[in-house]
Every structure is written in C-alpha cells, then in structure tokens.
Amino acid sequence: MQTDAIAAAQGSPLRPTSRALVSLRLRNNPLGETGVREVGAALARAAPLILHSLGLASIGASDGSVAALVGVLAHGAANMPPAPGAIHIYRLDLSHNSLGAGAAAALSTLLRSPGAQLCELTLGNNALGDAGVAALAMGGSQSLKQCHLVD
C-alpha cells in the first residue's frame, strides 16, 4: 500500500484510475424506492467505476428512484476516460417494475449524456405508455444497440 501512496502523490500513470465490476444482479429483491436510491449512492461511492451489467428487474423501482439512479449514472457518463465520480454502464435491466413515462424521460437523459456507453436497455413489463416510448426515442443515443420493451 505504501507504493500506491507514493504513486498517488507523484501522479504516477501506474496508479489505478477506475474499478471494473462485471455484473451486479439484484433481481427479485424488494429494494423499493429507498433501496434503489441506496444502490445509486453505493455506486457513486465506488466511483470511478466501469459497470458492465446492472440488473434491477423486479425490485419495486419507481419513476422517482430511477430518476435518482440515472442522475448518478449520467454524471459518470460525461467523464471519459473515467474521472473521479465517473460511472460507466453498458447494460441496464429495469424490467418488471412499475416504471412509467417519468422513468423513460430520465433514461432518455442518460442516453443523451456526452460519453454515454449504454449498449443494452431492458424495460419490458413496465407501464411506459406512448409518452415513455416517445421519450426514449428522443434519447438519440449512438451507443444504444438494443432496447427491449417487451418480454
């Protein structure tokens, strides 16, 4: 650890600048609004972070909790290469929750974030409605390759 402290003090390029997490799957856990916000806070504390897959299906997420989570993720997407506070995510599964147009609008913000890397978004079995689908379409992400709206 002393070597890490010296490298950090000297600004060494050998010092790790970000962490990677392959998958965080919390599916079918009754996290609810508070739990989703805590997941966002935990990810923010772990930043800089590269997260390949975040599975939040069937957890009781709401529009408000997803908006809070997206705020954390969108902040990180604007920092490339990963800077302090940056979180880069490639796959996000929010299927089987109670999400509506508000969550879709928040996700659209994430998709429009400079440097956004989200490639796959799964939103099946939610109540997005026409307004939610339109908000996602307005996201205009070049990184998004798959968006699953049905299961």
52 confidence band (pLDDT: 50, 70, 90): very high
Question: For residue 82, what is the DSSP state?
Answer: -
pLDDT of residue 39: 95
Angle at 75 between CA 69 and CA 78, to 5 degrees: 140
User: Which pLDDT score is estimated for 131?
Assistant: 95
- What is residue 91's three-state secondary structure? strand
pLDDT on residue 3: 40
Here the tokens at position 141 are 């992400």
Domains of the chain by range and CATH?
A: 17-148 (3.80.10.10)
Percentage of the residues of the chain whose pLDDT score is greater than 90: 56
Q: What is the mean pLDDT of the chain?
A: 84
Whether the pLDDT of residue 5 is over 70: the answer is no
pLDDT at res. 141 = 78
Confidence (pTM): 0.83
Strand order in the sheet with 120-122: 19-25, 49-55, 87-93, 120-122, 146-148
In the predicted model, what is the mean pLDDT of residues 93-104? 97
Q: What is the mean pLDDT of residues 77-99?
A: 76
Q: Which of 10-14, 30-34, 58-62 has the lowest mean pLDDT?
A: 10-14
pLDDT at position 2 over 60: no
